[in-house]
Structure 1
């Protein structure tokens, strides 16, 4: 079996406070339609329950270090679309 070197991946975490679980799932699915992009949901870490808080702690987005500009722009447009409708995204880590 042939082995290949794994390409370095860039990963960052974002959140939009109060964003519903269903919308986080929709954003993650939409982003995965961009070739090379992987996403996942970050569980809520708060021990305090509040109806106005999201059920999700955030979203992680990952793509190859050599990801092309067109792909990055598409990711940015998707995030801007949801950000305009539901509130700004906050960068948790990079």
Structure 2
């Protein structure tokens, strides 16, 4: 299994949870929300550091395409991903 981490420091917690719910509907995809690690409070930062997405090696090519489409959708609406 390969894990990739996506960061968007301005994406709200609720949006991260929504994204995780969408991604977990894909067969062979699991998601972990990463807690914020910033040592000081900042209103402009998300409560979540990022999202770790793991895709099973046996997942279909359609799953990978759909995963990229969903991530692209959220990136367009909430300002790109950092890796």
Q: Same fold (TM over 0.5)?
A: yes
Aligned match for 2:40, one of 29, 48, 63? 48
**2:4 is equivalent to residue 12 of structure 1:** yes
Question: Match of 1:3?
Answer: none
Could you tell me how far apart the structure 1 residues matched to 2:30 and 2:78 are? Answer: 22
In the alignment, structure 2 segments of 5+ residues that lack a partner are none
Could you tell me how far apart the structure 1 residues matched to 2:21 and 2:49 are? Answer: 17
> Which structure is higher in helix share?
2
The number of aligned residues is 83
Structure 1 vs Structure 2 CA RMSD: 0.8
TM-score scaled to structure 2, two decimals? Answer: 0.95
**2:14 is equivalent to residue 22 of structure 1:** yes
Question: Match of 2:54?
Answer: 62
TM-score scaled to structure 1, two decimals? Answer: 0.84
In the alignment, structure 1 segments of 5+ residues that lack a partner are 1-8
User: How far does the alpha carbon of each residue in 1:12-49 deviate from its partner, in whole angstroms, 9 at most, with x for none?
Assistant: 11111110000000000000011110001001000111
* Runs of 4+ with >3 A deviation: none
Looking at CA atoms only, which structure, 1 or 2, has the larger radius of gyration? 1
